[in-house]
């Protein structure tokens, strides 16, 4: 431990410079959705990797290039860091107190687009590597960086990259892009993500909108869609597609224990949203369990006809809906899509158009993995608190894209916080989270080099 | 008949000037929805009424003024003409071949906004009065004109006007605003209109849209609305609100006969709309009967969440729908609204917001009324064809607003044609329809003065 304390000391001594590095990286826009600054940022990321002695490749894809960096270490062990250098669009610009690409410190927070999502996470790992190198001369294990540039637009080329360059990013474990410290200071770790199937359904009638006086003798695509939708989900939220829940296994004992220990301030959450209770009167523990374990079917968008102010007596000629299914381990989005189509056919809605516009598989690391206990130990050391364990996120991330090619334990930990405003104006990082996050990464690499896996 | 031939001759002799009158009136914009030119047009209408010797009142309402004119006649009989001087907005302007308020003749058609709906109808009746006056010295019966200025925005102040000035417009029969000549040259007469109930339903959840990862533990107003809607109407189009069909009487024998005689070119209608058949495989006679006799429930607009291109994984916090119910005689829109609310309550959707934004009663003149036979006789004289009788329109008009205060037979006949593009760019009147329509009105007034009612 004396050894890691030297690295911690190095972090404290060099912290202002580290923050300066982060400001420099955040000053460079890299908006994948708008094609802004991608090549320039890939070069900056490569330069930053070279600054800690990494051998670097900028690998072209059909979209943004992937920056790969490898820093060799003493043990046979290899840790992979997955990050991304692209950021969300900064709009609406008028809501930013300081400009999104002019990183500004106020009250111990650094404000900038991408400071948490995901440039701060990437650099915290670089800075941890630097602290270890400078205080030891060599890393305890090999570290690989995979930094992609299209995460904010759905990582459309990550799978092709991962397949084509399997050996480049092969490792024994992976730390995923992001993580956070809860409001009460508890460090959080995620060990999986839900999957997703995104579909669009549409119903068509005549080739033009009609005066609604024609109603008795014309098709009503909006009604058609409503009746089709009503067959998909019960009022209680249970998905009615036959076979939808097939293959799902209940949470393991370790997962149940982790879920039971997760903090949720239900009164605060509900109060902020103007709600008095969870659906169906769920208790808080039931809500926590549902949030992490239940697959869902959500109407994200629904449109037909005239939706402006006042009245219009129109019979619309089309109706459409966007639906996301959040899926859990055991559910294959391609299979669910087929089941959805078969269900619609069986219910008499085979004439509706059904398009799949997004697919992602769920992935979970077993909580029995020694990585879990190791991360908890190190969290106790750095944060002085037990690690809170999310067996999976409620949301979706392409962890499975890598995990399906190289089986390895994966965890998402990091330097975010609940008020970070990721994807929103005034995105911010708490500088103390950044300082501790670097130390956490350094200590984790140190322990990882020798822990049993 | 020698007598009416003189009037017909007068129409032919003066026809070019009549068309000039119509061009002048159409050159004055009068867009109720935009508050454009209302007072100016009311003055023009008043001047035109005075030009045939009418005593005129411009009666203020809470909205556009109503112009009332009375031309006394020889018999005790009084005919009421209901018209409106406001027009639909002319947009989109770039679709007009000649500007909407620069009335232009091309190929025997006069193009202008409002030329058919409804200024041509109004003026054809003025010109008929003039022809009778000039060829006889006096009208055979008293004629009253009620010309309102808000028909295109739903006649919001007509009922209050009608109640406050009952004696002003009292009459023995009424010719309603508009009518048309079918594609094959058959003159058409309507003897009623459907009623309407327009409602907006909305469902609410949290006080903000949420990331859809929250789906397992948050309310889903879009699903709530879908399930509520699915209880309103069967897939086959039958309304499921208990009591919805109560009080409806089947068509009379005369109505059935009129419906059976109505022309409908189903192949042409369906082909133009890209359809191969009517819903549920209805035959053409079944479709005609359904169009005129069935009350309906139509989704006019449906909206929730993100409806732009691509994917957004959002759980929308609200969902809303606009619905029109077209009602028939025997259905009270206020009663149907109460039944709708009771139904939603009974089905477990009492928490949805339900607002009534429009109500209109259906009205039908009995086809046994001598007015019907009289109009048919005169049509045969003027058009050389039997009159086609619509016992009611498929659409809605405020006939009941007047009929409930003074019981009288009413019919909608006039100078329109199926290609008139009312409410659309390049609205047009066929000049020969205008010429014959004036004659039809003159002969009708002549016959009306003495016919049994």
How high is the ipTM of this complex?
Answer: 0.92
Of B217, B322, B326, the CB nearest to A215: B326
Q: What is the pLDDT of residues B76-99, one digit of tens each?
A: 999 999 999 999 999 889 999 999
* CB-CB contact of B213 with A393 (8 Å): yes
Closest partner CB to B326 (pick from A210, A212, A303)? A212
Mean pLDDT within A332-341: 98
Q: What is the pLDDT of residue A184?
A: 85
Range 274-313 of B in CB contact (< 8 A) with A: 274-275, 278-279, 282, 287, 290-291, 294, 296-308, 310-313
Average pLDDT over residues A41-52: 98
Residue B258 CA to residue B184 CA, distance in Å, equals 17
**Does residue B196 carry a pLDDT above 70?**
yes
Domains and CATH numbers, chain B: 2-193+362-448 (3.40.630.10), 195-248+295-360 (3.30.70.360)
Q: Decide if pLDDT at A221 tops 50.
A: yes
Give the per-residue pLDDT at B432. 97
Give the pLDDT score at A1: 47
pLDDT number for residue A275: 97
Q: What is the pLDDT of residues A232-258, one digit of tens each?
A: 999 999 999 999 999 999 999 999 999
pLDDT in tens, B123-141: 999 999 999 999 999 999 9
With a pLDDT cut of 70, the percent of chain B lying above it is 100
For B153, nearest residue in chain A (alpha carbons): A311
Give the closest residue to A155 by CA, choosing from A181, A118, A101, A121.
A118
Pairs from A265-268 (Cβ < 8 Å, separation ≥ 24): A265/A183
Cross-chain residue pair B322–A301, CB shorter than 8 Å: no
Distance CA(A145)–CA(A124), nearest Å, equals: 12
Instruction: Characterize B206-236 residue by residue with b for buried, 16 or more Cβ atoms within 10 angstroms of its Cβ, and e for exposed.
Output: beebbebbbbbbbbbbbbbbbbbbbbbbebe
pLDDT grade, residue B350 (50/70/90)? very high
pLDDT for B37-77, tens place per residue? Answer: 999 999 999 999 999 999 999 999 999 999 999 999 999 99
The mean per-residue pLDDT over the stretch B400-404 comes to 96
- How much of chain A, in percent, has pLDDT values that exceed 70? 100
- Has residue B313 got a pLDDT over 70? yes
Q: Which residue of A has its CA nearest to B277?
A: A218
Q: Which of B423, B418, B420 is nearest to B90 (CA)?
A: B423
Q: How many CB atoms lie within 10 A of CB B338?
A: 13
**What is the average pLDDT value for chain A, to the nearest integer?**
96
Within an 8 Å CB–CB cutoff, is residue B271 touching chain A? no
Condensed to tens digits (0 to 9), the pLDDT of residues A379-432 reads 999 999 999 999 999 999 999 999 999 999 999 999 999 999 998 899 999 999
Q: Which of B226, B300, B308 sits opposite A230 (nearest CB)?
A: B226
Chains A and B form CB pairs within 8 A to the count of 222
CB contacts of B349 in chain A (<8 Å) are: none
Question: What pLDDT is stored for residue B91 in this prediction?
Answer: 87
Q: What is the mean pLDDT of residues B183-211?
A: 95
Nearest to A307 among B282, B303, B324 (CB): B303
User: What per-residue confidence (pLDDT) applies to B1?
Assistant: 47
Backbone angles phi, psi at A248, to 5 degrees: -85, 130
Q: Taking residues A33-48, what's their average pLDDT? A: 97
The dihedral region occupied by B397, where left means phi > 0, alpha psi between -120 and 50, and beta the remainder, is beta
d(CA A42, CA A49): 11
Q: A346: which 2 tokens? A: 């069986």
Residues B212, A296: C-beta atoms closer than 8 Å: yes
Rounded CA-CA distance A339/A360 in Å is 16
DSSP secondary structure code for residue B251 in this structure: P
**Under 8 Å between Cβ of A400 and A363:** yes
CB B144 within 8 A of CB B448: no
A359 touches chain B (CB under 8 A): no
B110 pLDDT more than 60: yes
Q: What is the pLDDT of residue B210?
A: 92
Paired tokens of A59 = 């690998």
Asked if A315 reaches chain B (Cβ–Cβ under 8 Å), the answer is yes
Is residue B275 scored above 80 in pLDDT? yes
Q: pLDDT tens digit string along A2-31?
A: 589 999 999 999 999 999 999 999 999 999
User: Which B positions 375-414 lie with beta carbon below 8 A of chain A?
Assistant: 393-396
Residues whose CB is less than 8 angstroms from the CB of residue B2 and which lie 6 or more positions away in sequence, other chains included: none
- Residue B156 near residue B65, CB atoms below 8 Å: no
> Model confidence over B145-190: pLDDT tens digits?
999 999 998 899 999 999 999 999 999 999 999 999 998 899 999 9
How far apart CA B84 and CA B176 sit, in angstroms, is 10
Residues 6 or more apart whose Cβ sits within 8 Å of residue A253:
none
What's the pLDDT band for A143 if we cut at 50, 70, 90? Answer: very high
Yes or no, beta carbons of A273 and B206 under 8 Å apart: yes
Predicted pLDDT of residue B423: 87
Residues in CB range of A13: below 8 A, 6 or more apart: none
Q: Which 185-214 residues of chain B touch chain A by CB within 8 A?
A: 194, 196, 198, 205-208, 210-214
Instruction: Give how far B44 is from chain A: nearest CA, Å.
Output: 30
């Amino acid at each position: 431990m004396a050894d890691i304390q030297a690295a911690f000391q190095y972090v404290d001594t060099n912290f202002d410079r580290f923050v300066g590095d982060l400001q420099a990286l955040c000053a460079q826009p890299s908006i994948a959705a708008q094609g802004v600054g991608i090549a320039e940022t890939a070069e900056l990321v490569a330069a930053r990797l070279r600054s800690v002695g990494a051998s670097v490749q900028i690998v072209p894809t059909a979209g943004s290039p992937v920056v790969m960096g490898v820093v060799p270490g003493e043990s046979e062990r290899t840790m992979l860091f997955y990050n991304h250098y692209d950021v969300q669009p900064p709009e609406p610009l008028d809501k930013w107190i300081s400009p999104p690409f002019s990183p500004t410190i106020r009250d111990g927070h650094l404000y900038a687009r991408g400071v948490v999502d995901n440039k701060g996470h990437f650099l915290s790992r670089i800075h941890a590597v630097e602290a270890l190198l400078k205080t030891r001369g060599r890393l305890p294990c090999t570290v690989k960086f995979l930094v992609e540039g299209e995460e904010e637009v759905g990582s459309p080329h990550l799978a092709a990259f991962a397949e084509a360059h399997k050996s480049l990013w092969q490792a024994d474990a992976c730390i995923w892009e992001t993580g956070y410290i809860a409001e009460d200071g508890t460090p959080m770790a995620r060990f999986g993500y839900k999957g997703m199937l995104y579909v669009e359904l549409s119903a068509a009638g005549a080739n033009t909108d009609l005066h609604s006086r024609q109603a008795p003798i014309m098709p009503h695509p909006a009604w058609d869609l409503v009746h089709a939708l009503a067959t998909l989900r019960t009022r209680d939220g249970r998905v009615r597609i036959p076979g939808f829940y097939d293959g799902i296994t209940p949470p393991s004992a370790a997962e149940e224990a982790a879920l039971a220990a997760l903090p949720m301030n239900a009164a605060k959450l509900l109060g902020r949203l103007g709600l008095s209770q969870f659906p169906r009167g769920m208790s808080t523990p039931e809500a926590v369990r549902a949030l992490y374990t239940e697959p869902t079917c959500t109407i994200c968008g629904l449109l037909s006809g005239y939706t402006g102010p006042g009245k219009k007596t129109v019979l619309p000629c089309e109706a459409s809906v966007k639906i996301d299914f959040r899926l859990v381990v055991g559910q294959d989005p391609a299979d669910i899509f087929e089941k959805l189509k078969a269900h619609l056919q069986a219910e008499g809605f085979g004439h509706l158009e059904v398009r799949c516009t997004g697919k992602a598989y769920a992935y979970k690391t077993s909580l029995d993995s020694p990585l879990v206990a190791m991360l908890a130990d190190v969290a106790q050391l750095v944060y002085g608190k037990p690690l809170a364990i999310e067996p999976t996120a409620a949301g979706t991330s392409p962890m499975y894209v890598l995990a399906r090619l190289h089986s390895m334990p994966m965890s998402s930990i990091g330097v975010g916080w609940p008020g970070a405003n990721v994807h929103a104006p005034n995105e911010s990082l708490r500088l103390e989270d950044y300082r501790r996050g670097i130390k956490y990464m350094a200590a984790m690499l140190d322990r990882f080099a020798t822990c049993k896996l």
